Amino acid sequence: MRKEDCFYLGKIVRKHSFRGEVVAKLDTDEPEIYQNLESVFVALGNDLVPFFIEESLLQKGNQLRIRFEDVASEDDADAIMGSGLYLPIEFLPKLTGNKFYFHEIIGFDIEDVNHGYVGVITGINDSSAQPLFEINSNGTEILIPMIDDFIKKVDRDNMRIIVESPAGLIDLYLNN
């Protein structure tokens, strides 16, 4: 399995017992849907290795205590400490309406209700406090904040997102 075909579920953050149990911090708003998994992919170096789960228990919000098959000691747990957990993209719950996963909108067109066609989404910049649409508009990069009030419609059938950006924002990029 390749990382490109998976989504990041969380990270193993600490040991729980001397029998190899670990605690993973899940990167999700709905951790309860992941508490009964049969297996996950653990990132070891550049590889994703399948690990089968014998038992898991959700605790403290988004922390999942896990006992993996073949991880039976503190040394075994140390070997996977700090590793990322991944699942195939098809395990993501389907979103509807104006909710979307970042990876699914790459390649969508962006249209602004006042400006018209803007360009194609080439990426999402989520390194700042507010995630931004990265848009290619005929070779010019345009950044539009991903604010719920700006997003008017996500049209999955036609691969486009309609936004209402602040007046002058798009022109600021295009008139340089």
Query: pLDDT tens digits, residue range 34-74?
Result: 989 999 999 999 999 999 999 999 998 899 999 999 999 99
Domains of the chain plus CATH, in order, are: 3-91 (2.40.30.60), 102-174 (2.30.30.240)
Q: Could you tell me which of 16, 9, 21 has the C-alpha nearest to residue 69?
A: 21
Within 10 A of 75 (CB to CB), how many other CB atoms are there?
Answer: 9
Closest CA to 67 of 4, 17, 123: 17
Tens of pLDDT along 100-126? 888 889 999 999 999 999 999 999 998
What is the per-residue pLDDT across 31-40, written as a single tens digit (0 to 9) for each?
Answer: 998 989 999 9
